[in-house]
Structures are given as structure tokens and as C-alpha cells.
Amino acid sequence: MDITTLHVDAGGGYDILISPGLLDEAGKRIKAALPRAKRLFVVTDSNVSPLYGARLVASLETLSFEVHTHVLPAGETSKSAENLVALWEWMTAHGVTRTDAVVALGGGVVGDLAGFAASTVLRGVGLVQVPTTLLSQVDSSVGGKTAIDLPSGKNLAGTFYQPDLVLMDPDTLRTLPDDVFMAGMAEVVKYGCIWDAGFFDFLAARPSRASLMEDITHILRICCDIKRQVVNADERDIGLRQILNFGHTLGHAYELAGNYTKWSHGQAVAAGMVTASRLGVELGVTEPDVPEKIESVLASLGLPVHIDCDFAHIEKALGVDKKNAGDSVTLILLKRVGTVTPLKLPRAEVLDRLAGLPGR
């Protein structure tokens, strides 16, 4: 098997492995990364479990792991304090020890919640991320951010907790609905916007799912390598890592406006990137042709470039944004495609600018 391997230095250091068919080798790879583990606690959801749960468990049991599986309802609402407590209780009821590990099989919701549980039960056990969506493969499974949502906002309680291993099988992407696959492409396009103009142009030349899947291992490698470099430089998200939030501040407002059901995270981020680029032009930071370039690529992928949003949701999202410092917020803006610049402004000024932005 031809495996692409990227190494992350953060935490204790770990590998990202990318290869079609890798799911069937999960047991062997986890045994190598966590030789002391006896019990594995697989956390998945009701969409992924029927597709890949049995294959993963079979691979693990072949290596004599004792495997326990917990299936969450699919969807953002599962990322709750109640489910976090339920995972703690489930693991302790089955005798979890400090040398055992949690295996997160699924998308970002599963990875965030299972990672939070792993980071806190017994003050921390092993963690393996097995992402099955495009968004989780290029973004949330790498870098060690875990979280649950609170009534006041998204991802407001969590930890920094690096996994021991990330296993990516691009074949799992073939069962994704088109809208879920394309929602993941918003995060892929983001990497081109903030880091690599050549990669942005590469994506612009592949406006269909079929053309993207022909080069999917390359796409995953590029995205994960960019995130790996950023995380290595700023594991705790106090500087450079904030550039990964391009489009996310407004994206979270759009998600909130849709009650986390109307718009997926990727769709909201797509519209958020367009609005952020328009705001950058308004502030004299972003080159005038950038919004049109981003809109063109996103629209070709069937992603929204504008979402109507009550301004109260934008005010709320800016109020709890994790890049806030006192009364200021750090905007993640582009100078041009491939070049990002953070800009710290008073929150009140940002709100005024957004309120007057045409086509907000």
C-alpha cells in the first residue's frame, strides 16, 4: 500500500497517514502507534456506523483489541455537554485506563466531541482520529482542537489535545452526499486563499466532484501539510494559527442564523470568506479583484456566496469570537489570494463596517 505520511511535531508528535483502503489497516497502524493500549473506545455516528463501523471494528479485533462502540445521533446537536458526560460515563463503565484510547470515526462533530472526551477522562487517554468527511480530513482531525457547543455559541468549551495518530482513507469520501462533499471543499478553498495561490488555481481548474476525486490524495496532502506547518508554529492558536479562521467569524454567524441546521459549517464558511474579502476591500487591505475570484470558485462548486443574516447574529458571533481581546477583534483578511493578513480593530468599528457593507 502506497501511504502518504506527514508528521506533526505538536504535542508528543504524531503521523497523518493518507491512503485509499487504509481503514482496513487501522488495527495494525493503531497497534504501532499505541502499543500499550488494550481497550479501544470507538465513537461514531448514526450515518457513519452502518457504512464503516463494522470494517473498523473487524480491523481492530484482528489485532486483539477489546473494542467498545458508542453511536451518536448524526448532526451538530450531538456536540453537547450532555453527550460529553455520557461518553465519560460509558468509558468508565467499561473499565477505561490511562493506556487505552478513543477512536473517533466520522466527521467533525464526532472528532470534536470524542477528542474532548479523550482529553478529559482520567485526565487524558489515547486518541486516534479516523475522519470520514472531506471537511474533517482537511481540517478538524488535524491540529488537536476539541470542543463542544454551548447555548451561547459554537466551540466555546474545549481543549487543545493532539491525537496520537490520524488515519485518512479517501475512499470514505465516495459515500458522501454531494452537498456534504462540496461543503468540505469550502475548507479546501480556504487553504488556497490563505497560503497557496497556485493551489487555489489548481482547484479553480477542477469544478466538479469527479475531477477533484481524481486528485484527492494530492488535495488532502496539500491541505494537511499547510495545517501541519501552521500548527507546528502555533499549537495554542495565539498567533499564526488564527489565519485558519478566514471566513469563520461570519460563518459562525450564518450557522447561528440557520439554527445550525439550514446551513452546514462549510456552506457558512464559504459565504463568510466572500463577506470577509469584501470587508477587506472596504478597509483598503484586500485587492479589489479578490472577492470575484473567490466567488467564482465557490459558485462553481455549488457553494453559497451570500447568506442573508439578521445583524443581531453577526453582533452575537463577534461578541464571542475566540480571536477577541477586550473590546477588539482580530479580522483575518487577505491582501491577495494566497496572502493573508490579520487586522485588529475595535469591535464597534468592525460592526459599523459590516453594517454598511453592500451585499452583506
Secondary structure string (H, E, C) spanning 249-293: HHHHHHHHHCCCCCCCHHHHHHHHHHHHHHHHHHCCCCCCCHHHH
Q: In the prediction, which pLDDT does 18 show? A: 98
DSSP result, 287-356: -TTHHHHHHHHHHHTT--S-----HHHHHHHHHT-TTEETTEEEEEEEEETTEEEEEEEEHHHHHHHHHT
**Domains present along the chain, CATH in parentheses:** 4-172 (3.40.50.1970), 178-355 (1.20.1090.10)
Residue with cell 491582501: 335
The DSSP code sequence of 176-195 is S-HHHHHHHHHHHHHHHHHT
Please, is 151 exposed, middle or buried when counting C-beta atoms within 10 Å of its C-beta (0-12, 13-18, 19+)?
A: exposed
CA–chain centroid gap for 162, Å, is 14
* DSSP code at position 140: I
Tell me the residue type at 65.
F
Rounded distance between C-alpha atoms, residue 57 and residue 70, angstroms: 12
- Helix (H, G, I), strand (E, B), or coil: what is residue 106? strand
User: Do 7 and 15 meet the contact criterion of CB atoms below 8 Å apart?
Assistant: yes
17: which residues sit within 8 A by CB, 6+ positions away?
Answer: 3, 4, 5, 29, 165, 166, 167, 168
Backbone angles phi, psi at 274, to 5 degrees: -65, -45
Amino acid at 85: V
Q: What are phi and psi of 14, to 5 degrees?
A: -160, 165
- If we measure between CA atoms, which residue out of 259, 198, 268, 262 comes closest to residue 226? 198
**Which uninterrupted H or E stretch holds 72?**
strand 66-72
pLDDT attached to residue 323: 64
Q: Which helix (H) or strand (E) holds 43?
A: strand 39-45
Distance separating alpha carbons of residues 141 and 132, to the nearest angstrom: 10
> Whole-prediction pTM value?
0.94
pLDDT of residue 249: 87
Q: Say whether 3 sits in a helix, a strand or coil.
A: coil
pLDDT in tens, the chain (360 residues): 899 999 999 999 999 999 999 999 999 999 999 999 999 999 999 999 999 999 999 999 999 999 999 999 999 999 999 999 999 999 999 999 999 999 999 999 999 999 999 999 999 999 999 999 999 999 999 999 999 999 888 899 999 999 999 999 999 999 999 999 999 999 999 999 999 999 999 999 999 999 999 999 999 999 999 999 999 999 999 999 999 999 998 998 898 888 888 999 999 999 999 999 999 999 999 999 999 999 999 999 999 999 988 888 888 877 766 666 668 888 999 999 999 999 999 988 888 888 877 655
Q: What is the pLDDT of residue 256?
A: 83
Residues with Cβ within 8 Å of residue 347, at least 6 apart in sequence:
318, 319, 324, 327, 328, 329
Cα separation values, 236 from 128, 159, 231, Å: 20, 10, 8
> Looking up cell 487577505, which residue turns up?
334
Torsion sign, CA atoms 95, 97, 99, 104: positive
Q: Using alpha carbons, select from 305, 300, 315, 297 the residue that is nearest to residue 270.
A: 305
pLDDT the model gives residue 206: 97
Count the Cβ atoms, other than its own, within 10 Å of residue 335.
13
